[in-house]
A and B are shown apart, each in its own frame.
Chain A
Amino acid sequence: MTVTSRRERLTPDQVQSVTFPPARLGRRGFDEEHVRAFCAQVEGELVTLLNEKASLWEEVERLRRRMLGHNGDVPGYRPEDAHIQAVRILSNAQQTADRYVADAQHYSRQLAEDARRRRDEVLAEAQEHAERVLEEAHQQGTRAAEVAMMGPATLTPGERRELQAELAYLRTFSDVYRNHLRAYLEALLRNVEEWERAEKSSLSAARAELSAGVAELPLRPQPRLE
């Protein structure tokens, strides 16, 4: 079905000609989400119609009173009507505020979800990398041990040199890798701290703005992980 925006009115024609995409593989019937969305739209339309009916009724009552020339200085206009008008205006303002808060919450939820997903990806990648490196080191160690098992007696000077070179390489490799890992972890920690600072300041900024009556939330800088 084509999803129309909430503000757009639903017509009998649309209800008549609505189509739904089939459900995902392995499930029968129409796509549930689309059907639900359509039902919500129909419900919204019904509520709108009911409310329009109610305000039309009020308008009819007002005109009827006016015709009959009931009460007061301004013919057909009662203080209650003014109150109802005020209620409508305030209700609209409240709905606008609710929408802003809902949008801000939605945005913050998305940010948090993205950040969580990225964190999981980064950690998984780091773990995989570490495992690969360990595996490599392990294989090299095994190879070196196998050679050593043959016994020092059977080693030619050439083999011994090769073995020592291998050992030196492994030592260097281990040092370099340790340094890499340390630098990487430190960078991660720095990012977390930066994130925390940004969050603290945005929390207090948001509070200040909220108390100043501003409904907009400041954008939090995206944490950078690299």
Chain B
Amino acid sequence: MDVQRLKESFARVAMHGDEVPLFFFSDLFLRHPETRDMFPVSMTVMRDRLVHALARIVSDVDNLDGLTSYLRGLGRDHRKFGTIAEHYPLVGTSLLATLAHFNGPDWTPGLAADWRSAYDLVAQIMITAAREDEGVRPPFWEATVIAHELRRYDISVFRIAVNEPLAYRPGQSVSIESEERPRLWRLYSMANAPRDDLTMDFHVRMIDGGALSMVLTRGLAVGSRLKVGPPLGSLVYDAGPAQARRDVLLVGGSTGLAPLKAIVEQMSDLPDPPQVHLFFGARTADGLYDLADLEKMAAGFDWLTAVPVVSHEPGFAGEHGQLPAVVARSGTWREHDAYVSGPSSLVEATVAQLTAVGVPPGQIHVEDFGWSEP
């Protein structure tokens, strides 16, 4: 396989921008109309994801170790979409047709053979990972809403029960699909440590124009049915031996509180929990949708200090100011393990502030979904 030639031909194709994935999906749907149903109505996001995945694969094609774990994740993740081994050759045919089309006169039999073997390798890794996963867990879990509360007009807290055990680590997330919005999966963090009764809690804030968040905040009722994908995410707390344990700083903006609450629950099961400072921020006091529960937890655990912070309501009785700044001025965090969760701009600002006050980057944990979200 001539890796350099492969990369060059991909660069030539990539110059055609959105036309490339557009051609690919049209070719696939024309050859196999039944595959159209596996995708959402609007394909804009799918096309971006396809191009990103291809670019990632091609750029890493000579670093097989890194690529393999990415592809295995991708293969496992595709199970929830109903992808099976038989679909891979169909995709391969359309992919090669697309590459041939956009390579034009540069598409030679040798290049075609290289792409064919590269694709077969990729497909094999994905199929194998999916097959191994089949023995371990279902492609997705069926879930029923058993409680739903609208805490503010745009923030909901709800509890689901899944149909079979779903093992996850506190702080992780699952992708959720609603029958109201077929084939639209979005990631949400569990807000509790795993329970024996197969129930899980979620905090959702409505995003303006967000297709799924609108359903999950204002369109749910007890009995609503959802699908839940496999757990993923790396925002997890590793307790380790008690003597090596650092104190912990948790910073959550809005519904970014959810994974941190799960981590606090996990800590409460430790015989000797670390000292924990939890900062919970919102623009206005009514955005502190879970404060009552947090205060109850803080009252029950003497190792937990919960600090509500509000940025845009001058009359607020508690801490007032931008969350990152309030956190930075409220203590010395150099010896702490920090976990930050919330809107990405807030996470970035908090990480920058913590780094500025001397917290080593290795002690700052943020969510990184890697391959699963654009």
Q: Which residues of A contact B (CB under 8 A)?
A: 43, 46-47, 50-51, 54, 57-58, 83-84, 86-88, 90-91, 94-95, 97-98, 101-102, 105-106, 108-110, 112-113, 116, 119, 192, 196, 199-200, 203, 207, 210, 215
Near A by CB (< 8 A), chain B positions 20-59 give 22-23, 25-27, 29-30, 41-44
Do residues A91 and B26 form an inter-chain contact, with CB atoms below 8 A? Answer: yes
- How long is the Cα–Cα vector from A9 to B234 in the complex, in angstroms? 47
Contact A112-B208, Cβ < 8 Å, known A83-B30, A101-B42: yes
Do residues A47 and B42 form an inter-chain contact, with CB atoms below 8 A? Answer: no
Which residue in chain B gives the minimum CB-CB distance to A108?
B209
Do residues B16 and A51 form an inter-chain contact, with CB atoms below 8 A? Answer: yes
Do residues B208 and A116 form an inter-chain contact, with CB atoms below 8 A? Answer: yes
> What 7 new A-B contacts, CB under 8 Å, besides A50-B16, A51-B16, A116-B208?
A86-B30, A94-B43, A102-B44, A105-B209, A110-B209, A192-B153, A199-B219
Do residues A90 and B15 form an inter-chain contact, with CB atoms below 8 A? Answer: no
Do residues A97 and B42 form an inter-chain contact, with CB atoms below 8 A? Answer: yes
Which of B77-85, B97-105, B269-277, B341-349 makes up part of the contact surface? B97-105
Q: Which one of A94, A108, A203 contacts B180 once the chains associate, using CB atoms below 8 Å?
A: A203
Q: List 8 A-B contacts (CB under 8 A).
A: A47-B15, A47-B18, A83-B27, A87-B27, A90-B30, A94-B22, A94-B43, A109-B209
Q: Which one of B25, B180, B218 contacts A207 once the chains associate, using CB atoms below 8 Å?
A: B180
Near A by CB (< 8 A), chain B positions 299-318 give none
B17 within 8 A of A: yes
- How long is the Cα–Cα vector from A85 to B15 in the complex, in angstroms? 21
Which residue in chain A gives the minimum CB-CB distance to B211?
A105
Contact A90-B104, Cβ < 8 Å, known A50-B15, A102-B42, A207-B180: no
Do residues A106 and B30 form an inter-chain contact, with CB atoms below 8 A? Answer: no
Contact A54-B153, Cβ < 8 Å, known A84-B101, A98-B42: no
Least Cβ–Cβ distance between A47 and chain B, in angstroms: 4
Least Cβ–Cβ distance between B44 and chain A, in angstroms: 5
Q: Which one of A47, A87, A108, A113 contacts B23 once the chains associate, using CB atoms below 8 Å?
A: A87
B: contact size bracket: 20 to 34
Do residues A90 and B26 form an inter-chain contact, with CB atoms below 8 A? Answer: yes
- How long is the Cα–Cα vector from A119 to B154 in the complex, in angstroms? 12
Least Cβ–Cβ distance between B94 and chain A, in angstroms: 10
Contact A57-B104, Cβ < 8 Å, known A50-B16, A87-B30, A90-B29: yes
- How long is the Cα–Cα vector from A83 to B97 in the complex, in angstroms? 11
* Majority-rule SS of A interface residues: helix
Which residue in chain B gives the minimum CB-CB distance to A203?
B219
Which residue in chain A gives the minimum CB-CB distance to B219?
A203
Residues on B with beta carbons closer than 8 Å to the beta carbon of A51: 16, 19
Do residues B22 and A97 form an inter-chain contact, with CB atoms below 8 A? Answer: no
- For the complex of A and B, list the 9 residue pairs with the smallest distance between their C-beta atoms, beginning with the closest: A109-B209, A101-B42, A112-B208, A90-B26, A47-B17, A87-B26, A91-B26, A109-B208, A91-B22
Least Cβ–Cβ distance between A56 and chain B, in angstroms: 10
- How long is the Cα–Cα vector from A51 to B20 in the complex, in angstroms? 10
Contact A57-B218, Cβ < 8 Å, known A94-B26, A203-B180: no
Residues on A with beta carbons closer than 8 Å to the beta carbon of B42: 97-98, 101-102
- How long is the Cα–Cα vector from A109 to B211 in the complex, in angstroms? 10
B61 within 8 A of A: no
B297 within 8 A of A: no
Least Cβ–Cβ distance between B365 and chain A, in angstroms: 31
Do residues A57 and B105 form an inter-chain contact, with CB atoms below 8 A? Answer: yes
- How long is the Cα–Cα vector from A106 to B210 in the complex, in angstroms? 10
Residues on B with beta carbons closer than 8 Å to the beta carbon of A207: 180
Do residues A113 and B19 form an inter-chain contact, with CB atoms below 8 A? Answer: no
Do residues A200 and B19 form an inter-chain contact, with CB atoms below 8 A? Answer: no
Residues on A with beta carbons closer than 8 Å to the beta carbon of B166: none
Interface string of B176-214 (1 = CB under 8 A from A): 000010000000000000000000000000101101001
Do residues B218 and A199 form an inter-chain contact, with CB atoms below 8 A? Answer: yes
- How long is the Cα–Cα vector from A196 to B215 in the complex, in angstroms? 12
Least Cβ–Cβ distance between A187 and chain B, in angstroms: 16
Least Cβ–Cβ distance between A129 and chain B, in angstroms: 15
Residues on B with beta carbons closer than 8 Å to the beta carbon of A95: 22
Do residues B16 and A47 form an inter-chain contact, with CB atoms below 8 A? Answer: yes
Least Cβ–Cβ distance between B356 and chain A, in angstroms: 24
- How long is the Cα–Cα vector from A21 to B43 in the complex, in angstroms? 36
- How long is the Cα–Cα vector from A112 to B210 in the complex, in angstroms? 10
Least Cβ–Cβ distance between B145 and chain A, in angstroms: 15
